[in-house]
Amino acid sequence: MSIAKHIWWGIVGSVSVGIVAACFIAWFASHSLLMNACDTSLKQHANFLSTVPAPPRHFPEKGHKKNGRHTNNSDKKHHRRHRHLPGLLISMTLPDGSPILTDEEWPAGLPHVITPNNRPHTISTDDGSRYRLLQVPFAQSKETPAHPNRSHLLLAVPIDRLLEDLRLLALILLCTACGTISIAMIIAGRLSKRLIAPIHTLTQAIDTLPPDELDARLNLSNLPTEPAHIAARIDELLKRLSTSRQSERRTIANIAHELRTPLAALRSNIGFAPLEIELKTHVETQLDSLEQRIKSLLLLGTLDANSYHLHKESLLFADALADAWEAHKGTAQLQLTDPENAELQADTNLFAILLNIVLSNAIAHSNDTYIHITVQSTDAAWQISISNSCTHPAGDWNDAFAPFWRHDQARSQTDQHAGLGLTLAASIARVHNGHITAQVNKEQQFIVSLIWPFLSEKP
């Protein structure tokens, strides 16, 4: 996951958790406050009404219904005189639940006895309405017909409107939370882009650095302190690496130049020395090999330093291959497939060296005497494949282009190879804006693929 996504998720997650927690706390606090206010009013009314004296009554009596409801208007006014809760209903019952005095509006399905006393309850009626009920015993100890001993007073108040308000509050809080989270997502997206913009700029600058040019620098300005420090450190490291590489090249070039002088003197002395012909021939061969390696080192250092002045010319690949093959005639059989008669643009001397290297490598490590070369065009370049049979395992063999690379014991002991040939070929391809790869396919064919750009556009 990218840094921008980490920032986005961090902001959105924090805001989401915070707003959801705040909305839940707000709703829970509102619910608790409203219900506590309702319960407090119920208790105040219950405490008052349970101590109000009532006129004697006898059951049954004229003016009372058979079901226990009293219809005396003066009694009702006396008990309702102290009501302040909207919709407050009162019922006085015996311990067995028999009603003594009950409001006519008392809904069906609402009980006349609840337990325990002095604790509010929420109960639903048959029609789905919800009430808050509180049952308290009468405070007087003397039994009267109006207040029989151990009788209870039950108060009920409808809370449907209160619950509806709480549901509306919950909906408002939910919409607020969703809106806040949506705004947080937008702000987080823009903020993460602004925060990550300097790092993105630094990353793009690093990606545009040429892989083979150590003299290139980031040279970024107007960056915040932290990314600017990273960019400065990268430029400093590149500078140190470039200085070290230049020192290494100068050392190699100086060594090569210093070796050529005694090498020439040694060759001259051997030419006049009274040695056996076979020994003299062997020594001269070794001197030739040493001189060739010194030349390769000098050329490789020049190419890596990008100080070689190219003289590009248009040439036909078939003609260049024929000239390079003259030095290898009789060592192997060459098979060329070039249906488009490819025309390249290259420095003729360097391209001849490149062809000589890949041909020598193919001939030296082939299991038979056949070298196959195929030239075909792709969307942006020519692809030249040089293949020979081998016994190497299938896979990527690009490590062969590393300087002084060795693979098998036989090659490491030969005096004809120093491990610089393919490295020099890769450098020649690079200075021509091409590249070279190596692989072994399932048919045990070692394939060196040379990608060479077109002259201008695909013919």
pLDDT in the model for residue 71: 43
Q: Mean pLDDT lowest for which of 83-87, 108-112, 219-223, 341-345?
A: 83-87
Do residues 375 and 337 touch, judged by C-beta distance below 8 A? Answer: yes
The model's pLDDT over 56-79, given as tens digits with 9 standing for 90+, comes to 333 333 333 434 444 444 444 444
- Calpha distance 242→62 (Å, rounded): 117
Q: Is the pLDDT of residue 457 over 80?
A: no
Average pLDDT, the chain: 79
The model's pLDDT over 248-260, given as tens digits with 9 standing for 90+, comes to 777 777 777 667 6
Q: Is the pLDDT of residue 418 over 70?
A: no
Least Cα distance to 452 among 378, 399, 402, 386 occurs for 378
Reported in sequence order, the residue ranges of 54-198 that DSSP labels E, i.e. its strands, are 89-93, 99-102, 121-124, 130-137, 152-158
* DSSP assignment of 124-160: E-TTS-EEEEEEEE-S--S--SSS-TT-EEEEEEE-H
Average pLDDT over residues 132-156: 67
Q: Mean pLDDT lowest for which of 25-39, 279-293, 307-321, 329-343?
A: 279-293
SS3 204: helix
pLDDT in the model for residue 250: 74
Q: Please state, for a pLDDT cut of 90, what percent of the chain lies above it.
A: 22
Whether this model's pTM surpasses 0.95:
no
All structural domains of the chain, each given as residue ranges with its CATH number in brackets, are: 3-167 (no CATH), 225-304 (1.10.287), 312-453 (3.30.565.10)
pLDDT in the model for residue 406: 65
Residue 239 carries which side chain, given as an amino acid letter? K
